[in-house]
Amino acid sequence: MTSPKTVLITGTSSGIGLAAAIGAARAGWTAIATMRDPGKAEALLEAADEAGVADRIQVKRLDVTDPESITACLDEVIAEHGRLDALVNNAGSAKTGTIELLGLDEVRAAMEVNFFGVVAMTRAALPHLRASRGRVITVSSVGGAVGQPFNEAYCAAKFAVEGFMQSLAPLAATVGVDVTVVEPGPVASEFVANQNLDIPALLNAAGPYAPALEAYFGLRRSVFEGAQTPAEAAAPIVDALTADRPPFRIQTSDWARNFVATTLADLDGSAVQALTKTWVR
Ligand code: NAP
């Protein structure tokens, strides 16, 4: 009997990462469900019990902005499982605001978790993924393709993620590693609540941007009324784990596909990959 494949998922205390861990375990994988505070594992462990997959979920501490926690976690995974077959870069956080209203430190913090966290995880996991001929799946966003008002820092980080992964994909393929980015539209996770925004205070402080910010919050409320569930957004991640040849880019809903189609001609990334693969073979 072969041992189950192992996937490490970042940011599994809630939302898409939690649902992806359950989905991966249901698909027969061992899910290393990482979170920066394992004290927040209760929701995941309850969901795992309900789904009957608790024996295939292992919670470990990992903060994507803390290099020591990345190394320690990966070392443990390899010591305990002997392999890593996939990495799901899911951890991320929103950053609402515009550049005149945000401190540079806030912009840097958004890049740190949403971009450098992905880079650090991918860099650390690649030797193991080369050994297993595995894959890297990264949760980007429709904001990785379409820049959106009051999301400059967040979209810049997600654009950076997409540029990084699109560049890495043809090269990683030469050493047997598949690279995929997943672009959700609105998802009813803790994503918005986790920002703890004081909307009246933000509007008060927004000066000349106040009417635009008010309009933006109204738009966001209505768009999130049609949000996907985390399980719906996680399903394509699990498909990308199990597919023979996952595409480079996957939108998680028709809404997301239609939205990014306003800017992308190469929706699944196959045209760019076909071109750039010729550079490295
Ligand atoms: P969520 O419920 O807020 O989950 C985000 C997860 O990331 C949480 O588990 C959070 O942990 C974790 N996280 C934050 N900073 C971290 C760090 N430094 N190290 C490790 N984990 C960290 O939101 P979600 O919607 O599931 O977000 C998952 C991904 O989907 C993100 O990359 C997000 O950008 C992307 N996305 C979301 C939406 C949406 O509408 N929800 C749309 C497009 C893309 P804590 O509990 O410790 O904070």
Task: Look up the CATH number of the domain holding residue 12.
Answer: 3.40.50.720
Atom of ligand 1 at shortest range from CA of 154: 34
**If you measure from the C-alpha of residue 15 to the centroid of ligand 1, how many angstroms do you get, rounded to a whole number?**
7
Rounded to whole angstroms, how far apart are CA atoms 281 and 277? 7
- Angle among Cα 265, 10, 246 to the nearest 5 degrees reads 35
Name the band, by pLDDT with cuts 50, 70 and 90, for residue 119: very high
Strands 135-139 and 178-183: parallel
Rounded to whole angstroms, how far apart are CA atoms 81 and 6? 8
* Within a domain: 50: yes
Rounded to whole angstroms, how far apart are CA atoms 215 and 262? 21
Beta strands per DSSP E along the chain: 6-9, 30-35, 57-61, 86-89, 135-139, 178-183, 249-251
* Within a domain: 26: yes
Which of 93, 140, 142 has most ligand 1 atoms within 8 Å of CB, for mutation?
93
**If you measure from the C-alpha of residue 174 to the centroid of ligand 1, how many angstroms do you get, rounded to a whole number?**
31
Please work out whether the CB of residue 64 comes within 6 Å of at least one atom of ligand 1. Answer: yes
Minimum CA distance residue for ligand 1 atom 11: 11
Residues annotated catalytic, as ranges: 154
Q: Which pLDDT score is estimated for 59?
A: 98
pLDDT digits (tens, 9 = 90+) for 36-86: 999 999 999 999 999 999 999 999 999 999 999 999 999 999 999 999 999
Atom of ligand 1 at shortest range from CA of 12: 9
* Within a domain: 104: yes
Q: Give percent above pLDDT 70 in the chain.
A: 99
* Angle subtended by helix axes 15-26 and 42-51, to nearest 10: 30
Please work out whether the CB of residue 90 comes within 6 Å of at least one atom of ligand 1. Answer: yes
* H or E segment to which residue 169 belongs: helix 152-174
Q: Say yes or no to pLDDT of 3 above 90.
A: no
* Within a domain: 201: no
Longest dimension (CA), the chain: 65
Which of 14, 136, 253, 257 has most ligand 1 atoms within 8 Å of CB, for mutation?
14
pLDDT digits (tens, 9 = 90+) for 217-234: 999 999 999 999 999 999
* Within a domain: 83: yes
3-state secondary structure of 55: helix
* Within a domain: 137: yes
Name the band, by pLDDT with cuts 50, 70 and 90, for residue 1: low
Atom of ligand 1 at shortest range from CA of 190: 2
Rounded to whole angstroms, how far apart are CA atoms 227 and 233? 10
Q: Which domain holds residue 122?
A: 6-195+229-276
pLDDT digits (tens, 9 = 90+) for 168-187: 999 999 999 999 999 999 99
* Within a domain: 224: no
* Within a domain: 207: no
User: DSSP labels for 188-245?
Assistant: -SSTTGGG---HHHHHHTTGGGHHHHHHHHHHHHHHHHTPBPHHHHHHHHHHHHHSSS
Please work out whether the CB of residue 40 comes within 6 Å of at least one atom of ligand 1. Answer: yes
Global confidence as pTM: 0.98
Domain count, the chain: 1
Rounded to whole angstroms, how far apart are CA atoms 197 and 169? 36
Residue 163 tokens, joined: 């540029």
